[in-house]
């Protein structure tokens, strides 16, 4: 029997992506981000969210897509990865969907310019909608998590 997976749907460069709901802590509007020196370009800095300092990554930059200006729809999705909370800047976050596990296929080598290692699969939704599911552990690979944990100290 196919399992149902609840995912938060967000967009990046006109593509739809999904993150499992249980990995998402909160979705926030854009807020002031404090730059942190000597970090990769896609690490935009840190935000203070209700007294907690959270590193923020621009997912467009992380995936090697062209970064764009933030808009009224831009959001920061706060996700929990291992013991760490990280914010992902996305173009918009607009939906929660139930995806059946049997509708998920292995990702091709590159989807929308994003390498397969960052993706856990591609879900077919309805007739002509595809949802790209993120592989969170790889998006925040171990070395980068170590770098990010050093911000929190």
pLDDT digits (tens, 9 = 90+) for 54-73: 999 999 988 888 888 999 99
Contact predicate 9/18, CB 8 Å: yes
pLDDT of 111 reads: 59
- The 10s digit of each residue's pLDDT in 12-48 is 998 899 999 999 999 999 999 999 888 888 889 999 9
pTM: 0.86
The angle subtended at Cα 17 by Cα 130 and Cα 145, nearest 5°, is: 145
Third-level CATH fold of 4-152 = OB fold (Dihydrolipoamide Acetyltransferase, E2P) (2.40.50)
Q: Which residues pair with 88 in a beta bridge?
A: 57, 77
Q: How confident is the model at residue 153 (pLDDT cuts 50, 70, 90)?
A: low
User: What does the DSSP assignment read for 53-98?
Assistant: EEEEEEHHHHTTPPP----TT-EEEEEEETTEEEEEEESEEEEEEE
Q: Which residue has the tokens 């967009």?
A: 11
């Amino acid at each position: 029997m196919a399992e149902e997976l609840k995912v938060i749907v967000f967009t990046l460069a006109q593509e739809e992506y999904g993150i499992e709901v249980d990995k998402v802590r909160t979705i926030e509007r854009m807020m002031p981000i404090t730059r942190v020196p000597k970090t990769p370009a896609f690490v935009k800095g840190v935000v203070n969210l209700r007294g907690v300092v959270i590193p923020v990554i621009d997912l467009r930059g992380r995936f090697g897509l062209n970064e764009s200006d933030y808009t009224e729809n831009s959001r920061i999705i706060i996700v929990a990865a291992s013991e760490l909370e990280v914010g992902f800047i996305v173009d918009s976050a607009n939906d929660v969907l139930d995806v059946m596990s049997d509708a998920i296929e292995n990702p091709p080598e590159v989807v929308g310019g994003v390498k397969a290692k960052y993706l856990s699969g591609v879900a077919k939704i309805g007739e002509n909608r595809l949802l790209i599911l993120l592989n969170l552990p790889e998006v925040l690979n171990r070395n980068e998590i170590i770098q990010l944990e050093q911000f929190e100290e």
